[in-house]
Amino acid sequence: MISVNELAARLALKPFNLDDGDREVTGGYAGDLLSWVMGRATSGDAWVTIMSNINVIAVAQLTDVACVILAEGVEPGDDLVSAAKTRGVNLFSSEEAAFDLCGKIYALIAPNGGAEAAEAAEEAAAYADSDR
Amino acid sequence: MAQSETLNFHFDVDGNDFTSAGEASVKVKKLMRQLGFSPELTRRVSIAMYEGEINMVIHANGGTADVYVDEDRLRVVLADEGPGIADVETAMQEGYSTAPDNIRALGFGAGMGLPNMKNYSDEMKIDSVVGKGTTIELIFKVS
């Protein structure tokens, strides 16, 4: 299992607040609609979003995600950073697109060392090669 | 325990301050942790309550939130004096929202608030009168 610190290092994330770097990342969630996130994200997820208003911190805290990663070069404003510090939410940003970021996170935390993902990729390749 | 006392926590939800919405829910989350409730139940209660808070800020210029803690259940009552909900059945549908664009730009108004409240609670009652206000009661069983 991978920690927030390790995830941040492997993805070269830019830290804005790091409260609990030893926290385990057990899954991931991508989304910008906050109620959607609250309905689906689970505790321990790395949450990838481009939403950077202050309510993001409350949502992160209530869903108990392991960290928030602002994708696509979105940088947090001072109010967001200060809310993250006050409330102890791990907050990062990345230049990478959300899709690419999620692919990398998945590869890092996937069950069976990504065997399932590799199998799916093989199946997709076989389908592309077939006559259909 | 021969007699158990119901704990009541009261919160005023400020209708003018969108950024502070969620303070009550975060407080409830901390209180529930301190009282020894499971992380899962704590999560369900605090998220459902946050959705209620947000709704009251978006639609009703604020309101009140009360949390009643009994031995076997938690009850959250969200009350406002807003415009009321004309068609509760439609409002309960996932994706249906009357939130204005500026609220949607903040990532709310996805039409998932009431459905989330229903999904995360064990029982949900909506009492709404157009022009008078809305009271929502959420019940969570403590297993």
CB nearest to B47's CB, from A53, A56, A62? A62
Question: What is the distance of C-alpha A8 from the center of its chain?
Answer: 10
CATH of the domain at A99: 3.40.1390.20
The CA distance from A103 to the nearest CA of chain B, in Å, is 23
- B47 neighbors B120 (Cβ within 8 angstroms): yes
Check B110 against A79: CB less than 8 A apart. no
pLDDT at B1 over 50: no
Residue A129: its pLDDT value, please? 83
Chain A residue whose CA is closest to B97: A35
pLDDT in tens, A25-65: 999 999 999 999 999 999 999 999 999 999 999 999 999 99
> Looking at chain A, how many residues does it have?
132
The per-residue pLDDT for A48 is: 98
Question: What number is the ipTM of this complex?
Answer: 0.83
Contact A87, A64 (CB under 8 A): no
Answer yes or no: are the C-beta atoms of B51 and B38 closer than 8 Å: no
Instruction: List chain B residues with CB under 8 Å of A64.
Output: 39, 43
Residues A49/A70, Cβ–Cβ less than 8 Å: yes
| Residue A43 CA to its chain's centroid (Å) | 12
The class that CATH gives domain B7-141 is alpha beta
Residue A115: partners with Cβ closer than 8 Å, 6 or more residues away: none
Instruction: Test A33 with B116 for CB contact under 8 angstroms.
Output: no
Domain segments of chain B as ranges: 7-141
Residue B84: CB atoms within 10 Å: 17
pTM, two decimals, is 0.86
Looking up tokens 């325990």 gives: B1
pLDDT tens digits for A77-112? 999 999 999 999 999 999 999 999 999 999 999 877
d(CA B33, CA B25): 12
Reading the block at residue A32, the tokens are 């910008």
Mean pLDDT of chain B: 93
Residues B50-103 have pLDDT tens digits of 999 999 999 999 999 999 999 899 999 999 999 999 999 999 999 999 999 999
- The mean pLDDT value of chain A amounts to 92
Question: Is B122 a residue whose pLDDT tops 90?
Answer: yes
Domain span at residue A92? 2-129
The SS3 of residue A27 is strand
Interface test with B, best of A59, A62, A86 (most B CBs within 10 A): A62
pLDDT at A132: 60
Please report, to the nearest 10 degrees, the dihedral formed by the alpha carbons of residues A38, A40, A45, A49 taken in order. Answer: -70
Domains: count for chain A: 1
Is some CB atom of chain A closer than 8 A to the CB atom of B61?
Answer: no
Answer yes or no: do B26 and A62 touch at CB < 8 A.
yes
B40, pLDDT greater than 90: yes
